[in-house]
Amino acid sequence: MSVQSHLEELKRRHAALQMAIQHELNHASTDPLKVVELKRRKLLLKDQIARLRGEATVH
């Protein structure tokens, strides 16, 4: 998988997590632990995206 395609996949997953977070926050029965876990996963993806972007500019 090329760096660019991997980056696009990470962006897609990041956006999907954002939608899942919004979905959870819009429900009265929101599980705060689930929201925290989703945000943690989203942040990990953001870090991976930043790292890949840095590698792409170096090569």
At 21-31, the pLDDT tens digits run 999 999 988 89
- Give the Cα separation of 24 and 28 in Å (integer): 9
Closest CA to 3 of 47, 46, 52: 52
| This prediction's pTM | 0.84
Count of domains for the chain: 1
Closest CA to 19 of 3, 2, 1, 41: 41
At 2-56, the pLDDT tens digits run 889 999 999 999 999 999 999 999 998 889 999 999 999 999 999 999 999 988 6
Domain hosting residue 33, numbered range: 3-58
